[in-house]
């Protein structure tokens, strides 16, 4: 059997997510970590893992009667680009990142929620699609749904611009094996730009989402504070809270902007 190298499909499945049309819902929540997908077993009805390949684990179920999928992206721009493109190809109309992040100021606490309004494009992969002058902005519809969901659950939330970086250590101003690199003062520079947090995937999602005309957004639970040097020892309660907020936001998005009630 011959398979197209330009557009490979394996028995109708896209080549990395290993899913086919019908396997995913129109609204997809996208964590980096595949383990986060399993949190939805308890939060959704009729939840089933539809595929698991490399860093991509995909589950589909219903929340309050609305179809929703969860698909991990792995870490950083390249694996996220693949997930986003294959999800859109499979019919996704909204992609919302549910991540973990480090914040730059002490007023934002570990366990708080950060909603990205736009991202600095420092991830790499999205530059193959659009020049870096093209903005990575979240859909205002998704931002509003996430804010309302945070308010309804009484969660402490912040919104603002994220630095979305293709590096965890040097690219986020950390020492690497005890060595500081040439941009080790970048946290101070980002504070001057009013950047509130750093993570590794949002810019890829927001940039590609805008290019393909779908809804996108990003909410992250704060794992780290770079001013106080705190790292949340057990971030699963904050992650679970974020997953519930995201599911509530999915319902709001369906009610306000999508018509696919089941
Ligand atoms: O917890 P996730 O969603 O993976 O997000 C954050 O955690 C990873 C780094 O530890 C990066 O992917 C970063 O963006
Ligand atoms: O500091 C942090 C914490 C989580 N994820 C990141 O990318 N950076």
Q: Is 32 a pocket residue for ligand 1 (Cβ < 6 Å)? A: yes
- Calculate how far, in angstroms, residue 161's C-alpha sits from the geometric centre of ligand 1: 17
Residue 75 lies in a domain: yes
Give the model's pLDDT for residue 198. 98
96-115, pLDDT tens digit by residue?
Answer: 999 999 999 999 999 999 99
Active site residues: 16, 86, 174, 226
Residue 78 lies in a domain: yes
CATH for 73: 3.40.50.1580
The percentage of the chain sitting over the pLDDT mark of 70, rounded to a whole number, equals 99
Q: Is 201 a pocket residue for ligand 1 (Cβ < 6 Å)? A: yes
Give 169's contacts (C-beta < 8 A, 6+ positions apart): 175, 176
Residue 14 lies in a domain: no
pLDDT value at 209 more than 50: yes
Residue, of 7 and 202, whose pLDDT is higher:
202
Residue 227 lies in a domain: yes
Give 84's contacts (C-beta < 8 A, 6+ positions apart): 30, 73, 95, 204, 205, 208, 209
How many structural domains does the chain have? 1
State the residue range of the domain holding 70.
27-257
Residue 113 lies in a domain: yes
Q: Are 235 and 221 in contact (CB under 8 A)?
A: yes
Q: Pick the atom of ligand 2 nearest to 165's CA.
A: 7
Residue 3 lies in a domain: no
Placement of tokens 């007023």 in the chain: 107
Pocket probe mutation, ligand 1, options 70, 83, 99, max atoms within 8 Å of Cβ: 99
Residue 11 lies in a domain: no
ipTM of the complex: 0.99
- Cα radius of gyration rounded to whole Å, the chain: 18
Residue 120 lies in a domain: yes
pLDDT value at 141 more than 70: yes
Give the model's pLDDT for residue 261. 47
Find the Cα–Cα–Cα–Cα dihedral 120, 146, 34, 105, rounded to 10°.
Answer: 50
Give the model's pLDDT for residue 260. 52
């Amino acid at each position: 059997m011959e398979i197209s190298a330009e557009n490979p499909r394996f028995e109708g499945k896209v080549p990395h997510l290993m899913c086919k049309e019908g396997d995913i819902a129109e609204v997809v929540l996208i964590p980096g970590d595949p383990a986060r997908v399993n949190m939805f077993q308890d939060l959704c009805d009729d939840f089933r893992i539809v595929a698991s390949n490399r860093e991509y684990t995909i589950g589909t179920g219903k929340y309050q009667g609305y179809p929703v999928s969860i698909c991990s992206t792995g870490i950083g721009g390249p694996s996220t680009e693949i997930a986003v493109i294959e999800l859109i190809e499979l019919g996704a109309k909204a992609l919302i990142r549910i991540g973990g992040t480090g914040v730059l100021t002490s007023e934002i606490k570990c366990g708080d929620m950060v909603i990205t309004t736009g991202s600095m494009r420092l991830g790499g992969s999205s530059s193959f699609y659009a020049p870096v002058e093209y903005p990575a902005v979240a859909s205002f519809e998704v931002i509003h749904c996430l804010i309302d969901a945070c308010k309804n659950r009484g969660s402490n939330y912040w919104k603002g611009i994220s630095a979305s970086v293709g590096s965890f250590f040097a690219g986020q101003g950390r020492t690497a094996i005890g060595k500081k690199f040439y941009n080790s003062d970048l946290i101070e520079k980002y504070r001057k730009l009013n950047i509130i947090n750093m993570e590794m995937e949002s810019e890829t999602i927001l940039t590609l989402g805008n290019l393909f005309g779908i809804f996108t957004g990003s909410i992250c639970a704060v794992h780290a504070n770079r001013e106080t040097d705190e790292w949340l020892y057990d971030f699963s309660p904050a992650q679970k809270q974020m997953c519930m907020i995201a599911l509530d936001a999915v319902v709001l998005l369906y009610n306000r902007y999508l018509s696919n009630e089941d």
